[in-house]
Amino acid sequence: MSKVQTLNHNLEQIKYQTCPYDDEEAILLTDIDEDMPETDEDGELQYYCLTGHHVFTVEEEEES
């Protein structure tokens, strides 16, 4: 798999999440002028709930 294919595959894995507040679809929050997705003060990815119109953070799972 090429680097571009790997990047696209990784992006697809984190692009969408289920909102913990209303179990609806949420999308990764990004700034079109930046290369990296938005994060909170702890560096965790932020998502925007398309139904509830709110922002939430998904903590990255720790690997054992």
For 50-62, letters b (16+ CB in 10 Å) and e give: eeeeeebbbeeee
Residue 47 has which token pair?
Answer: 């998502």
For position 63, what pLDDT does the model report? Answer: 44
Give the list of residues 6+ apart from residue 1 with CB closer than 8 angstroms, or none.
9
SS3 percent helix, strand, coil of the chain, rounded to 5, is 20, 30, 50
pLDDT of residue 12: 79
Distance set, CA 22 to CA 38, 44, 52, 54, 61 (Å) = 21, 20, 7, 10, 21
Per-domain residue ranges of the chain: 3-58
Low-confidence ranges of the chain (pLDDT < 70): 1, 3-8, 60-64
